[in-house]
Amino acid sequence: SQTIHQWPATLVQPVGSPLSLECTVEGTSNPNLYWYRQAAGRGLQLLFYSVGIGQISSEVPQNLSASRPQDRQFILSSKKLLLSDSGFYLCAWSGPHGYYGYTFGSGTRLTVV
Note the residues at the interface with other proteins (CB under 8 A).
6, 41-44, 46, 49, 90, 92, 94, 96-99, 101-107, 109
Residue closer to other proteins by CB (options 19, 90) is 90
Write down the least CB distance from residue 35 to other proteins, Å: 12
Write down the least CB distance from residue 64 to other proteins, Å: 19
> Residue 44: enclosing H or E segment and its boundaries?
none
Write down the least CB distance from residue 88 to other proteins, Å: 8
- In sequence order, the 6+-apart residues with CB closer than 8 A to the CB of 42 are none
Interatomic CA distance for residues 1 and 21, integer angstroms: 23
Strand partners for 4: 25
Residue closer to other proteins by CB (options 9, 15) is 9
Write down the least CB distance from residue 5 to other proteins, Å: 12
Residue closer to other proteins by CB (options 73, 107) is 107
Contact between 33 and 50 under an 8 Å Cβ cutoff? The reply is yes
Residue closer to other proteins by CB (options 54, 101) is 101
- CA 56 from centre of chain: 12
- Identify the CA nearest to 94 among candidates 66, 67, 64, 74: 74
